[in-house]
Structures are given as C-alpha cells and as structure tokens.
Amino acid sequence: MRNIPKTKFRFFSVFAAAVVLAVAALCSACGTDGETSCLQQLDYTESTEKTDNPDQGFYRPIYVRMKEDGVSYNKNIVTDNTRLYHLRVDISAFSANGGGVDEPLTQNALQGFAETLSFLRERNKNAIVRFAYDAGYSGKADAEPQMELLLAHAKQFCTVLNGFPATVTALEAGMFGPWGEMHTSAIATSENKSALIETLLTNTEDTPVLVRTPKMIYDYLGISANDALSAEIPSEAYRLGIYNDGYLGSSSDLGTYSDRERDVAFVSGQSEHLPYGGEVVIPDSPLHNIETCLPEMYQIHLSYLNVEWNYEVIDKWKNSVVTAQCNAATENYKGKSAFTYIENHMGYRFVLKNATFTYPKKADKLKINLTLENVGFGNLCKQKLAKLLFVDSAGNTIAEKSVDVFNGESELHYSVALNLQSGTYTVYLQLYSEEINGRPLYALQFANHEIYDSALQANRIGTITVL
C-alpha cells in the first residue's frame, strides 16, 4: 500500500500503432509535429450526489460470533444501500475468562471467518474488522486469556486477513477490554499492547492496523508525546494509525487525546495514507456543530463513521445545514444538510476537472491528459489498477488498454495504441482493485455529473471518432 501526494505527477505510456481519428470536442493545433489537442465536452463540476466508493463512508456494524464449529452472523444486514461494514468478531469461545475454553482458534472458525469476508467480497463490500473476547460485545471486562494465547489468536486470524487485501479496509487492533476498545482490562498494559501491535504488523501484509489512542503508538515507537511530531516514523509503523470511538465527544474525545492539538497534528500525518474513523458520541457536545467539526475533519482525514451510533448526533447532522460560516464547504453545498456534506466527503472524492485528448498528424498514438481534484477529507489509501475502455455506439466494449496503477495523483498522462475500425467510440477510465471472473471489484467513481457508468464500473472521459 502506497500513497502519493496529490501534487505529484506520474507519466505512463503504452506505445502505438497507426490509427486515423478525430475528436468530437474543442480542438486546437499545437506542437511542431502538428498535434491537435482537444478538450473533451464533459461536465467538470462536482455533483452533490453520494458516490459509492470503496473503503470509506458511513458503516453499519455486524456482530459475528466465532465458535469451534464456525461463525454466525446476520447476512440480511448486508444490502445495496451500504458499502462499508464493521465486523465485530466475538472470540470469547476461545477464552476461559470469556466463558469459553482456552484453546487456539479452530480451523472451522477460521474457515467461517474467511467465508464471511468472501461473502462481502462477492458483493463488492468492504469491512473494518475488530476482534474481542467480550461475549456479545456487551461491555465485559477482563475476558482475555493469557497473553501467549491472545497473541497466538492474533497470528491465526491475520493469515485469513492476508487473503482479502482489497476487502479489508482496516484491522482495529481491539482484543483488550470491553467492546475491544483496548482499555479496562488487567492485562491491557502498555507493554502488552505494544506486543499486540508488533504481532499484528508483523503478521499482516498490507492491512492498516489501527489502535485506540495516539499514546499506544507513542509507546510502541518508544517516544514521548511531546517528541512525536519531530520523530521519524520507522517503516514498520507506516501502517499504524488509530480508530476513535470517542470522536467529538469532548475536548479529549473521551480520553483519546491528552493534548488535542498536538495529538491531532501527529495522527493527521499517519491518516494521510491510512483510514481514520470511529463513532461520534455525547449528543450535547458542541464539537459536533458543523461549523466546528468540518475543519478538523479535513485535518484528520476522516474516512469512516458508524451511521448507527450515536443516532442523536447523526440526526443532529441530518437536521442542520451547511452555512456560509462553514469555511471548508464549497458553494454548491450551501443549504445541504451537514450529514450530506460529511457523507460525501469522508475519505477521497475525486472530481475530473479536465480531459484532453491529443494526437499528431500521423495519428499513430492517442495521448490522454486528465486533471483530477480530490475534494474529500482524506486520500486514496489503496492503489487502483487502471484500464481504458473503448465502447462503440452499440454499447459494446471493443478494446481495453491496461495502464499503470492509480495512487491518487492529480494529473494522469497516458499514451495508448489503438487498432479500431471506423466509428465513434466513448472512452472510459476504469479504476479497480481486483477482478472476479472478469468482473472488476471495488471500482472508483468520480464525483462528476453523468460520468460514471455503473454497468461498466468506469468513468467516461471522452469520445473519439475513427475515420
């Protein structure tokens, strides 16, 4: 997993064969070889509609009970209306203190967990995952087994997570304490938390690992809170961030931060390339006010929240509007609900601002230049495979051209070969994570009007006519 700043340019090329083409767009001659540059006739403004993009947004929780013979959960919670889910995996059956038996996770239990992730993957859904020994996620303390067995359990479920890199948005470290929130446990010492962090980072490959407070990161790195901003983060901690289940509840986010300004500044450096989210709490907290929370949402790169908790805060956002006092908000959202603005901007949100097709007199290659603006709170945390599709007037995909991966750049430059018969073709850019039987999964949607084609799962970027 790698993040590239929005301002960095990358250039990709696939060399060409001859084709004669004209572009239905605004064109002008340029260059010494007589190249024609054509601005494509698209709507380059941001839509205020929701974009159903992977790894971000309001999630719904799913309680998953893991036992010796497998797992159980309510599959009906998974619907077309939600992309992101929070799997709260109960492993109390494998701890005597949790009401079960001290033993390793069984093969049937691990297979059941893998089938759960596969169920989500087949439906193009993402999961944030947390494990806990708190039976029923009911708030029970001191349910953990001895540390040796706890770490052995962690190593076991990491082998399953590694098989679903595109499906799993993040692993919330959990395991200690009520609800797996890493507090109120006799064994939740700084040393033991650091041992768990080390185990999770060592035994996962690309999965972000999130812990409950910045202090847990400071302790793991062996630095003081005051030194954190100037400390060099070692490569092994690149995937280490936090989840915040006390979000906007108080000046400290209910103990998440010991110094909000300092800790947010530190965490924002990690959340530039990692997910950050959790649950909003304490309905009467003034920090929920849209004028107050928006600037920090941008700073902290907010990417996900629980839509079910706290429902009073969620309703507050649904019943308040974006005003002129919300300096972070763009004009087209003025008068929209705070909920709409937050929902639309969690994580990344790419708007196509320019699409130009350029070709020389010989028409032996087509150059495509795209400009993107990310208006979301966060960045793209997972790279996407990229493919250009050429679709004829009957709606048939005639040609596909794979190009280099997309990491969230603001400028894309492609040079592609074509071998098309005479006709007009619509060009799409498909950005996705993987394929199942030729079907792209976890495709990225631009936030423009009438650009995304849900059937193709690709973004329309222009039109060419081959003579």
- Residue 73 clears pLDDT 80, i.e. is over it: yes
* R_g (Cα) of the chain, nearest Å: 24
Question: Which domains are seen in the chain, by residue range?
Answer: 9-49+351-466 (2.60.40), 57-345 (3.20.20)
Helices within 32-144 (DSSP H only): 107-122
* Alpha-carbon torsion angle 453, 458, 462, 464, nearest 10: -100
Among residues of the chain, what percentage have pLDDT more than 90?
85
Is the pTM higher than 0.85? The answer reads yes
Q: Sign of the C-alpha dihedral, residues 236, 256, 340, 298?
A: negative
Secondary structure (DSSP) of 343-382: HHHSS--EEEEEEEEEE-TT---EEEEEEEEE-SSS---S
The token duo for 14 is: 């696939």
Q: Which of 7-16, 37-46, 417-426 has the lowest mean pLDDT?
A: 7-16
Type of residue at 321 = V
Mean pLDDT within 336-361: 93
User: For 193-234, how does the pLDDT look when each residue is reduced to its tens digit (9 = 90+)?
Assistant: 999 999 999 999 999 999 999 999 999 999 999 999 999 999
Q: Do you find a cis peptide bond into 310, omega within 30 degrees of 0?
A: yes
Secondary structure (DSSP) of 260-290: HHHHHHHHHHHHTSS--EEEE--TT-GGGSH
For residue 331, give Cα distances in angstroms to 15, 326, 347.
42, 10, 20
Spatial CB neighbours of 4, under 8 Å, sequence gap ≥ 6: 10, 407, 408, 409
Of the candidates 115, 113, 154, the one whose C-alpha atom is nearest the C-alpha of residue 133 is 154
